[in-house]
Every structure is written in structure tokens, then in C-alpha cells.
Amino acid sequence: MNVARNWWDDFRAQMPVAEKWAYFDHAGVGPLPGPTADVLIEFARDNAANGVANWTRWRTTVETARQLGAKLIGAATDEVAVIHNTTEGINFVAEGFPWQAGDNIVTLSSEFPSNLYPWLNLAARGVETRQVAAAIERVDPAAIERACDDQTRIVAVSWVGYMTGWRNDLAAIGEICSRRKIFFFVDAIQGLGVFPLDVRQLPIDALAADGHKWLVSPEGAGLLYVRQSRLDMLRPMGVGWNSVRQSGNFTDTRLDLKPDASRYEGGSHCLASICGLAKSLELLVDIGPARIGEHVLDITDELCERLTRAGLPIASCREGERRSGIVSFDVPGRDPLQLKKDCRAHGVIVNARAGRMRAAPHAYCNDEDIDRLINAVTS
């Protein structure tokens, strides 16, 4: 009797890591799908054997990644730049914005350092960074609005918090920004690829995310979105030979910037990472983030139920759309960093943040993986 396979079983079959590990660290560094690993090997072998002879072929993966990234978030292709990482994208916005002394930017006290330091670094330019209190990452959009005034130029928040997985209400925060004419920036790294996002339906002016977490891609490649109407508002940063319309014609040295987001791709691309990003995006876009997100929430709901039965307190909010793929929990009497190491001896990859364990399963994880995690943290 043939039993029909679910799409998540097919996804799992493309994840070699599942053969050995119960992998719960996609909020840290995600493992590569088999097809992504294959294309990286192919790139390396081709480069070793042929050098630059097939460069044009690999260069096309930049455009593939751009197109798939745009499709993932509902953007126009020319609104997407292929960058190195989230930090780079945030700095492009922070340093390129037309600040005036006395301006301020509003963010959250719980932000990952990459979405805090670039804003704090603006103090020398007379820009104040206001941090809205967000105990265990939870924040009411009204509190964000109360922190804003007539000098607030940017609101910068993470879509999903990295510690406990609180998923911010981007529609509510975006409405505040739109009404008050404030630039809205989103660090999307902990949600992109897992949950649907449409920048045509949300007033997001810019967002950044790199691929090495939920996009199960190599480190060193990511995406920056800048709404077309905002592009010329930002002073281009990191400009180089590839930022201009005549890129490749090195004797024409006019600073004639490209009219789209690819102006941020100033120098040579990290083609090895980008070809992997393109292959992983192909896999995830084909499945669809709506299906992925629904299944990830099913998995994390089951995980939370099992943790509760085991007497392990959960710090993450598990209510409606504030849920995410991250589950933060306590193991009373155990040091989280030591427990993280002990779990590896049981074939379980999990992480620790802010004094708690942090489990982050992707859609290919299953009940057997949850069993292994529960056994590892309770043994």
C-alpha cells in the first residue's frame, strides 16, 4: 500500500542534517539543503578547473537570487539588492539617511545588536536613539508611537525577536509610521522564508535579511529591499565599479548611479554564497512561506505542549500571530550553556540566549526530533 508523502517529508529528504541531528537552531545558523550544497561544490570545482571561463554563468545567480527574493516579499525586482548580510543592509540605511542634528530614531530595547549599534553610532551626528522597553521582547505598538515625536525620522524593529521569538505586528507599526510620515525599517532575518510578507500590503520602506538562518543558505549572502520611492532619499553607501549604469566599462568613470537597489552592490559579488542563496530560495519559494509558516507553528505548538508536560516553563508568547518559529524555555537547575553542549552528545542541536534555552525548528523537523530534544533536556 502506497502512502502519500507530505511536502514537509519531501523537504526533510533534501536536508542531509536530519539523518544525524535533531536540528533546532535555525534562529542561529541553518544547515544547507542537499541541492544547495551540491551547487556550492559545483561552483568550487568549476572555479578550480576553469577559473574565470564560466564566470558569466555564475554571475546569473545574482539575478536569480534577486528575482526570487523579490517574489518572496512581493517587491519589484529592481527594489532588491543582493548584499552580504543583515548588518550591511542596516548600515546602508543608517548611514545613508539624510539626518539633521536633533533627529531621533526609535527602536526596541530587546533588539539584536546589529539593529542597535548602527543607530547608536549616529550619536556623533547629533541623532538620538530611543529604545522602547520590551520586556522579553513584548511591545505594544502604542508604546512605540508614544516614543515618537516630530523629530522621529526612522522606526527600526525586528520582525521576529531573536531571544524569545516575539513576532511584531508590522501592520500596526507600519500604520503609525505611515500616518506620521516616518521611515519604517524592518530587520527580517528571523522571519523571512518562514512567514509570508508582502511589502505591497505593508508600508515598509526598507528591510534586510541574510540567508544563513531560516533561508537555509550559506553565510555571506542576503537581501536588502528599498522601496523605489525611497531609493533616492538615501545617500548611496559602499559605491564602487558595480554601482553605476556603465559597470564593466572601467574607462567611463562618470558617477552615473544605477536607478535601482543594485547600486548597493558596489564591488565583486560573493558568488559562491550567492549561488547557494539562489538555490535555497528556489526551494523555499516553491513550497511557499504560507505553507512553511503554518507548519512551523504546528511544530512549535507541539513542542510547547511537550515542554509544558515535562514541567519546563516557556518564556515565548504563544498567542496567535505573535508566535514564531522560536521557542524560549527554562530548564530549572541547569546552566543553559552547559545544557546546550550536553544536548549535542544526544544528537540535538539547540541554542541558548538570554539565560534560557532557545529551540528553533524548521518545517522539515518532526515529532521524532521533538522526542530527542525533550529526552536530551530532561535526561
The model's pLDDT over 133-178, given as tens digits with 9 standing for 90+, comes to 999 999 999 999 999 999 999 999 999 999 999 999 999 999 999 9
Instruction: Kindly state the average pLDDT of the residues 109-133.
Output: 98
What is the reported pLDDT for 273?
A: 98
Question: Do 308 and 263 share a structural domain?
Answer: no
- The residues with which 154 forms a beta bridge, in sequence order, are 105, 183
Cα 261 from Cα 168, distance rounded (Å): 26
Question: Do 310 and 205 share a structural domain?
Answer: no
Q: How many domains does the chain divide into?
A: 2
- The residues with which 107 forms a beta bridge, in sequence order, are 131
Residues in Cβ contact with 22 at an 8 Å cutoff, skipping those fewer than 6 apart: 347, 348, 349, 365, 368, 369, 370, 372, 373, 376
Cβ neighbour number for residue 210 with a 10 Å cutoff: 27
Instruction: Kindly state the average pLDDT of the residues 311-336.
Output: 97
Cα 212 from Cα 29, distance rounded (Å): 6
Cα 11 from Cα 30, distance rounded (Å): 14
Based on the number of CB atoms within 10 Å of its own CB, is 143 exposed (0-12), middle (13-18) or buried (19 or more)? middle
Based on the number of CB atoms within 10 Å of its own CB, is 27 exposed (0-12), middle (13-18) or buried (19 or more)? buried
pLDDT at 197 over 80: yes
Instruction: Report the residue count for the chain.
Output: 379
pLDDT at 2 over 70: no
Q: Please tell me the number of Cα atoms within 13 Å of 34 on its side-chain side.
A: 10
- The residues with which 350 forms a beta bridge, in sequence order, are none
Question: Do 12 and 138 share a structural domain?
Answer: no
For residue 80, being part of any structural domain is answered with: yes
Q: Please tell me the number of Cα atoms within 13 Å of 255 on its side-chain side.
A: 6
What is the reported pLDDT for 4?
A: 56
Question: Do 165 and 310 share a structural domain?
Answer: no
C-alpha to C-alpha distances, 156 to 99, 114, 173, 201, nearest whole angstrom:
15, 11, 10, 18
Question: Do 266 and 186 share a structural domain?
Answer: yes
Question: Do 357 and 232 share a structural domain?
Answer: no
Question: Do 249 and 233 share a structural domain?
Answer: yes
Based on the number of CB atoms within 10 Å of its own CB, is 236 exposed (0-12), middle (13-18) or buried (19 or more)? middle
Query: Of 246, 265, 286, which closes a domain?
Result: 286
What is the reported pLDDT for 91?
A: 98
CA-closest candidate to residue 235, choices 130, 96, 43: 96
Helix (H, G, I), strand (E, B) or coil at 150: coil
Cα 210 from Cα 277, distance rounded (Å): 9
For residue 98, being part of any structural domain is answered with: yes
Question: Do 303 and 280 share a structural domain?
Answer: no
- The residues with which 328 forms a beta bridge, in sequence order, are 358
Query: Of 243, 261, 286, which closes a domain?
Result: 286
Q: Report the amino acid identity of residue 38.
A: D
In this structure, what C-alpha cell is assigned to residue 205?
520602506
CATH of the domain at 353: 3.90.1150.10
- Tracing cell 525533550 back to the chain, one arrives at 374
- What's the chain's average pLDDT? 97
CA angle 179, 128, 132 (to 5 degrees): 65
Cβ neighbour number for residue 240 with a 10 Å cutoff: 13
Query: Of 286, 307, 328, which closes a domain?
Result: 286
For residue 34, being part of any structural domain is answered with: no
Q: Which helix (H) or strand (E) holds 352?
A: strand 351-353
pLDDT at 3 over 70: no
Q: Which helix (H) or strand (E) holds 156?
A: strand 152-158
For residue 246, being part of any structural domain is answered with: yes
Instruction: Kindly state the average pLDDT of the residues 235-242.
Output: 96
**Structural domain of residue 326, as residue ranges?**
7-24+288-378
Helix axes 289-309, 271-287, angle to 10 degrees: 80
pLDDT at 1 over 60: no
Q: Report the amino acid identity of residue 331.
A: V
9 and 365 Cβ atoms separated by less than 8 Å = no
Question: Do 228 and 130 share a structural domain?
Answer: yes
pLDDT digits (tens, 9 = 90+) for 198-223: 999 999 999 999 999 999 999 999 99
CATH of the domain at 151: 3.40.640.10
pLDDT at 12 over 90: yes
CA angle 29, 202, 171 (to 5 degrees): 85
Distance of CA 82 to the CA centre of its chain: 13
Share above pLDDT 70 across residues of the chain, in percent, rounded to a whole number: 99
Instruction: Kindly state the average pLDDT of the residues 277-287.
Output: 98
pLDDT digits (tens, 9 = 90+) for 356-369: 999 999 999 999 99
Question: Do 364 and 326 share a structural domain?
Answer: yes
CA-closest candidate to residue 174, choices 164, 163, 188, 192: 188
Question: Do 364 and 317 share a structural domain?
Answer: yes
- Tracing cell 542634528 back to the chain, one arrives at 101
pLDDT at 306 over 80: yes
